[in-house]
Structure 1
Amino acid sequence: MPLTQPAVTRQLQRLEALLDAQLLDRRSKPARLTPTGVAVLAEARKVLAAVEELKQVASQSAEPKGVLRLGLAHALCEPALADGLHELGRRHPAVRLQLASGWSSELLARVDRGELDAAVIHLAGAADAMPPPRGQVLAEDDLVFLVSPQLPLPARPRLEALNRIGWVLTPDTVCGSRGALRAAVERSGVALHVAAEVQDAALQAGLVQRGLGVGVMPRRRAEAWSRMKLRRVSVPGLRLRMTVSLVRALHLGRLARAVDTLEAVLKERLRRQGRRQ
C-alpha cells in the first residue's frame, strides 16, 4: 500500500535514530541523500534482495534452484540412477547436484543431521522379517544366489553346502541381507564363511564366475550379468528381499520440487527396468 509523505518522513526519521546517522540533507531543496545515506541505500538494497531470496528458498512453489546434496548407496549401481539424475538436470537446469556415496545407514544418518537433502538407499533382509522402509519406496527386488556354472551343485543346494564354498559379499557389515544370511547359517551351528569382501559389483561377479565364492545380488543386477553365464540357485527356506527408497530431509523449500522430479523419474525407470528383466 502506498505511503503518504508524512509516513515516509516518520519512517526515515526512525531509521536515522536507529542508525544514529543523518541519511538525508534537508537543507538542500529538494532534499538529497548524504554520503552516509548513499552508502546505507546500497546496503539496504542488498538486504531487500537477500530477504527476497530467502522467501524464494523457503517457497515450495518457486522454481528449484541451488545445490541439491544427494546421497547414493554403494549397492545401487543402477543405470536407472544415471537416467534419473540426467532427467533432473534437464527439467531443473538451475539445480546443481552434489553427490555423495556411502552405506545406506551412513546416508540415513547424514540426512537426519541435515548434511544431505535426500538419499537413495536400500534396505535388505529376510523377506518375512524386513522392517518397514524409510522414505518413499521406489522399487522392490529379490536377492538371488549366484554360483559358477563349473561348481557341481544341485538347483536347490543346502545352505551349508554354499557356506563351505564361501560367500562373496560387500564390506557393509550392517547390511540386512548379510545379517539374515549370517543368522540362517549360524542356526546350523557353523560360522558365516566369507571368502571375499568386494564393493565393486563387476568384481564380485567375476570372482563368482571363477568359482571363488557364492554371490548374493539383486535379481536385476544378476540378470544384467547374464553374459557371464552365472548360475542361479535357490536355498530351501531362505528368501532375501531388498527395497530401494528415497529419503528426504524435512524442510527442502524450493528444492522439494526437484526431489519430487527425481523420485518420480527413478520410480518409473526402475519399474520399467524390472519389467524388462
Structure 2
Amino acid sequence: MKIDDMDAFVAVIRCQSTNLAAEALHLTQPAISRRVQNFEDDLGATLLDRNTKPLKPTAMGLRVYAQCKAILREIDTLHGLVANAGAPSGTLRLGVPQTLGDVVLLETLAQIRSTYPQLRTQVSNGWGSSLVARMENAELDAAAALFPPGKTFPEGIASQAIARMPLKVVAAKGSVGKRSGKLRDCAPLGWVLNPDGCGFRAGLQRALSEQGLGLSINLETFGIELQLGLVADGQGLGLVPEPLLQSSRHFEALDVIAVSDFKPQVELCVFHPRYLGNLQEPVALFAEVVQRRLPG
C-alpha cells in the first residue's frame, strides 16, 4: 500500500471529483484514477460509488477516509519532527474571514515577510466553519476566526481563544429616536449584514425567530467597513464586534443601540494543526499580530 495512493483517495473524496483532485495534487486525471484503483485493490474493497455525480464514497469508503486522514496527519507530524530544526521556509497557508482580513492582513503579511524572508504566504477567505473543515483536510496551516464562546475544535487542531468581545447593534447617528430598546423595536428598521453563512447573521436570526420575528435584510455585502458605511448612510442597522466598530473610520457617524434582550458575544480564536514543524514560530507571530490588531 502506497502513501501516494492513499493521498489520491483522500483528495478525490475531499474534492468530490477526480479532475479537481488531479489539480490539487498537480497530477493528471488518469494518474489519480489509477492510484485510487490501486488503493482499492490493495484493500480488497470498493471505496467509491462511481454511479453518482459528484463522486461519493461507499459506506466502507467513508470509514476508510476517516482512517486515512488520521494516518496522513501522523505522517505530517513525522515530517514536522524532521523539519522543525530548520528555518521556516516554503509556504504558510493562512485562513481568515473577510470580517477580520480587512483589519489584520496587511500588518500580518508585512511582519511575516520581514521576519521570515524565505517563507511565502497564501491567504484564503471563508467563514469560520469552512476554515476548520479546510484545516481538517490539511489545506491550511493557521487561521483566525470569530466563534460563539466555548467553541470546540476537532481532534488534531489546537486553538487559542485570544479575546471575547461583544457584538454591537449600530445605526446612523441621530436616526433612531431611542438609543435603547428591545429586539422587536429593531425589526422594522431592517439590517445591513453579511451574506448567508455568517455566524453573526445566524445568531441574530435565531434570536428573532425565538420571538416570532423575521429577519429583514435591507442590504447584504461582505466587509465590515462597507457595511458600517452603509449603516452610517441610513441604510439600516448593523451588527459588528466592538473592537472593529471602535477602529472604524465611520465610528463618529454611528450610534450604538442598547438592545436589552440581545447581547451576543463572540470569541476570537487562532487555530492550527497540533503539529506545525518549522512553521511554529510564524504561526505564533500570526497569532500575536491578530491579538494586537483586535484587542478584547
Instruction: Please give the TM-score of this superposition, normalised by the length of structure 1.
Output: 0.69
Which structure 2 segments of 5+ residues have no match?
1-77, 154-158
Segments ≥4 residues shifted beyond 4 Å:
54-57
Which of 256, 259, 270 is the equivalent residue of 2:294? 270
Q: 1:155 and 2:179 equivalent? A: yes
Question: Measured at CA, do residues 58 and 235 of structure 1 come closer, stay the same or move farther in structure 2, by a change above 3 Å?
Answer: same
Task: From 281, 285, 289, give the equivalent of 1:261.
Answer: 285
Partners of 1:264 and 1:206 lie apart in 2 by 29
Q: Flag the 1:57–1:82 CA change in 2: closer, same or farther, 3 A.
A: farther
Q: Distance in 2 between matches of 1:209 and 1:56?
A: 49
Do the aligned partners of residues 198 and 265 (structure 1) sit closer, same or farther apart at CA in structure 2, a change above 3 Å counting? closer
Structure 2 counterpart of 1:138, which letter?
I
Which residues in structure 2 correspond to 1:75-224 (within 5 Å)? 75-124=99-148, 130-132=149-151, 134=153, 135-175=159-199, 177-223=200-246, 224=248
Separation in 2 of the partners of 1:91 and 1:56?
20
- CA distance in 1: counterparts of 2:176 and 2:92, whole angstroms: 50
Q: 1:149 to 1:270 in 2, by over 3 A?
A: closer
Matched, 1:73 2:93: no
Residues 207 and 267 of structure 1: CA distance in aligned 2, closer, same or farther (over 3 Å): closer
Q: Which amino acid aligns with 2:220?
A: E
Q: Write the deviation string for residues 160-209 of structure 1: whole angstroms up to 9, x where unpaired.
A: 1211111111014351x322212221222221212221112232112212
Q: Greater CA radius of gyration, 1 or 2?
A: 1
- C-alpha RMSD over aligned residues: 2.3
| 8 Å Cα contact 1:60/1:257 also seen in 2 | no
Amino acid at match of 2:172: S
Structure 2: distance between partners of 1:146 and 1:208: 8
- The answer as to whether partners of 2:229 and 2:250 remain within 8 angstroms in 1 is no
Deviation at 1:226, TM superposition (A): 4.2
Aligned mates of 1:158, 1:164 — CA distance in 2: 12
Distance 1:56-1:226 versus aligned 2 partners, 3 A rule: closer
Give the counterpart letter for 1:184 in structure 2. A
CA 1:266–1:174 in structure 2 vs 1: closer, same or farther (change >3 Å)? closer
Query: What is the CA–CA distance in structure 2 between the aligned matches of 1:109 and 1:217, rounded to whole Å?
Result: 25
1:28-47 Cα offsets, whole Å, 9 max, x none, are: xxxxxxxxxxxxxxxxxxxx
Report if aligned partners of 1:146, 1:232 keep a CA contact under 8 Å in 2. yes
2: CA distance, partners of 1:169 / 1:154:
22
2-structure distance, mates of 1:140, 1:133: 15
Change beyond 3 A, Cα 1:265–1:203 = closer
Instruction: Give yes or no for contact 1:123–1:133 (8 Å, CA) kept in 2.
Output: no
TM-score (norm 2): 0.65
Deviations 1:222-251 (A, max 9, x none): 122345511111101221112221111233
Query: Within 2, Cα distance between the matches of 1:242 and 1:98?
Result: 26
* Amino acid of the structure 1 residue aligned with 2:224: A
**Equivalent position of 2:84 in the other structure:** 60
Q: Which amino acid aligns with 2:109?
A: L
Q: SS state of the match for residue 146, structure 1?
A: strand
In 2: Cα distance, 1:269 partner to 1:191 partner: 35
The answer to whether the Cα contact below 8 Å between 1:164 and 1:193 also exists between their aligned partners in 2 is yes
Percent identity, please.
Answer: 28
CA distance in 2, matches of 1:246, 1:258: 13
Higher RCO (Cα < 8 Å, 6 or more apart): 1
Partner Cα separation in structure 2 for residue 270 and residue 133 of structure 1? 21
Change (3 A) 1:222 1:161: same
